[in-house]
Amino acid sequence: MGMVLGVLGSGSGSNMQAILDAIEAGTLDARIALVLSDKPDAFILERAKRHGIETGVIDCRGFQTKFPEEAQAETAARLRDAGVELVCLAGFLRLVKSPLLDVFPQRILNIHPSLLPAFPGLESWKQALDAGASEAGCTVHFVDEGMDTGPIILQEAVPILPGDSAATLHARIQVLEHRLYPAAISQVSRGWKA
């Protein structure tokens, strides 16, 4: 039986869809048991429901960007109760700290649209363009207490082309993300089972 995944997301869930596609194609031996979002109207919840996956909303106590400790403890409990072994952040826009990290140490992954450690934080593809970088890309990494600072699992570059806009660059990075995230999950899963 494959790795049991839990997904946290705030948006459309395209990376979760890529994970589901890899599972259905047989290239990733895993199962998504639970999808949680801090936004009740996030499309990621609709995507999960269409695949018969249990969903829930994280109560962040009215905070716009903060992830309060009580909410993290509730999230950890729901993930644990669902049998989740590995937590995947898929466009989740809040910083994960304790107690969630305490319950899932080195068991939370994130995908970030830059070649970390370059350009952490929001809209990193725009940061790369503004800095005149020659390449951008994406990184799958373990989550730690910092912002996009955890140990890197997989990373791949895309060239920044003449005439690239933020939108065209981001679109190329997303294609890469959708291939890299399932591959990284598979690599982590094999490492644990070894």
> Which sequence positions are flagged as catalytic?
112
Q: 158 in helix, strand or coil? A: strand
Question: Is residue 141 a contact partner of residue 110, using CB atoms and an 8 Å limit?
Answer: yes
Q: 168 in helix, strand or coil? A: helix
CA distances from 40 to 36, 77, 110, 115, 157 (A): 9, 19, 21, 31, 33
Check whether the bond before 117 is cis (ω within 30° of 0): yes
